[in-house]
Amino acid sequence: MKPFVITRTFDAPIDLMFKVWTDPAHLQKWLAPKGTISHFVKADVRTGGSVHYYTQMPDGTKMWGMTEYQEITKPSTLVYNQWFSDEKGGVTTHPMSQTWPKLMRTTVKFEPQGNQTKLTLEWIPLDATKEELETFEQAMAGMNQGWGGTFEQLDQYLKEVP
């Protein structure tokens, strides 16, 4: 299975990039699809910790999610498992795609480039069925668009952070 990989360079130093990816007060301002808002119910951002959140859609619908951190190496690396969840954090299917992989591994790498930071995000399904892997492969273009929009929000937010 080929992972989904997206790379962007941001006009922010590595320490700030790491902070906006690990501080829930920052995360909720940019880490959501365009037109939605993230709310963090529980946030324990550390190796072995977890985050429980929901994204509020424009129509008021809530999409719940969980993140469990496998590795946090400041300021260079984040590795976490994530899934769609219910209000209690249990694993659920994607609300808009019953065949989307239930468990995803996300690896985020930060590399300093002068006063900028190169970010590389890798996304790969874990313990996925053949059908879930096919859905993941077919969704690569949409993932580029989705993460691209999220990164646009991050880029804008970085301009506003003191």
Confidence band of 28 (pLDDT split at 50, 70, 90):
confident
Residue 149 CA, chain-centre distance (Å), reads 12
Confidence of residue 149 (pLDDT cuts 50, 70, 90): confident
Distances (CA, A) of 157 to 21, 27, 61, 152: 12, 10, 24, 9
Helices 14-22 and 140-160 pack at an angle, to 10 degrees, of 110
- Residues ≥6 apart with Cβ < 8 Å to 51: 24, 27, 40, 42, 43, 44, 45, 66, 67, 69
- What are the domain boundaries of the chain? 4-160
Q: Looking at residues 20-42, what average pLDDT do you find?
A: 89
Alpha helices, DSSP H, located in the chain:
14-22, 24-30, 130-138, 140-160
* DSSP characters over 62-76: EEEEEEEEEEEETTT
Question: What pLDDT is attached to residue 156?
Answer: 93
Residues 38-88 pLDDT 10s: 899 999 999 999 999 999 888 888 999 999 999 999 999 999 999 999 999
pLDDT in tens, 87-137: 999 999 988 899 999 999 999 999 999 999 999 999 999 999 999 999 999
pLDDT at 33: 78
- pLDDT for the residue 61: 87
How far apart, in whole angstroms, are the C-alpha atoms of residue 132 and residue 160?
A: 38
Given its phi and psi angles, is residue 60 left (phi above 0), alpha (psi -120 to 50 degrees) or beta?
left
Out of 3.40.50.10190, 3.10.270.10, 3.40.50.720, 3.30.530.20, the CATH code matching 4-160 is 3.30.530.20
Per-residue confidence (pLDDT) for residue 161, from 0 to 100: 86
